[in-house]
Amino acid sequence: MLVALTGGIAAGKSTVSRMLAECGATIVDADVLAREAVAVGSAGLAAVTHAFGSQVLTESGALDRAALGNIVFIDEDARRRLEAIVHPEVARLSAEAFASAERQKPGGIVIYDVPLLVEAGRKNEFDAVIVVEAPDDVRRHRLINERGMTEQEAQSRLAAQATNAERRALADYVISSEFSLEDTRREAETVYAQLVRSSRTDG
């Protein structure tokens, strides 16, 4: 069973991903694949450099994510150019990862941890979608206090992504990270149990 796990920045998605892994799910992380897609020497990095210039490279020739982020999070056209480069390559890498997971653990639950599910328009590829969410003011507070962003930086990150309502519209399951870790864990375990039951019924 292939399940997408998504959520906006600072919504708690990575925490829920770890919890689902502890339940027994196989996790495929889109962020890891996105880094692989623009690794040094890759066609993806060459395309990004061509689109945005050498200013987005470090002295060693690797992608400078902070420099690139400063461009794409304030310029929608730039963000779309980046997505047009990275998304197809990540889709290819993810398909390979899903096939590998199925070979290693046939019939298991595979969770694709993917921040930009709404933006990439990939919902129909999955058997179910889990959305992790927290109110915007909670997420803004986390970005400022846990990640050291300014108020303006935090707001630009939130504004650049899909809204909670847009993500919720795609959800088969919603997990809140607004309250305690124990509350979130209980919700994650409940959703995982439902996925297991569903996979057995479908099978």
Which pLDDT does position 115 carry in this prediction? 86
pLDDT in tens, 52-76: 999 999 999 999 999 999 999 889 8
Tell me the whole-structure pTM to 2 decimals: 0.82
Sheet holding 2-6, edge to edge: 26-29, 110-113, 2-6, 128-133, 173-176
SS3 180: coil
pLDDT of 142 over the 60 cut: yes
Q: For 4-8, 47-51, 113-117, 190-194, which range has the lowest pLDDT when averaged over its residues?
A: 113-117
1-25+108-203 topology per CATH: Rossmann fold (3.40.50)
Whether the CB-CB separation of 88 and 120 falls below 8 Å is answered with no
> In whole angstroms, how far apart are CA 125 and each of 38, 117, 137?
23, 10, 31
Q: For 98-107, 125-134, 174-183, which range has the lowest pLDDT when averaged over its residues?
A: 98-107
Residue among 134, 143, 175 at smallest CA distance from 20: 175
pLDDT in tens, 91-103: 889 999 999 998 9
Highest mean pLDDT among 71-75, 120-124, 135-139: 135-139
pLDDT in tens, 3-44: 999 999 999 999 999 999 999 999 999 999 999 999 999 999
| Mean of all residue pLDDT scores within the chain | 92
Instruction: Give the Cα separation of 3 and 125 in Å (integer).
Output: 9
Instruction: Work out the pLDDT band at 203, boundaries 50, 70, 90.
Output: low
**What are the domain boundaries of the chain?**
1-25+108-203, 32-106
Which pLDDT does position 26 carry in this prediction? 96
pLDDT in tens, 71-90: 998 898 999 999 899 988 98
Instruction: Work out the pLDDT band at 168, boundaries 50, 70, 90.
Output: very high
pLDDT of 122 over the 80 cut: no
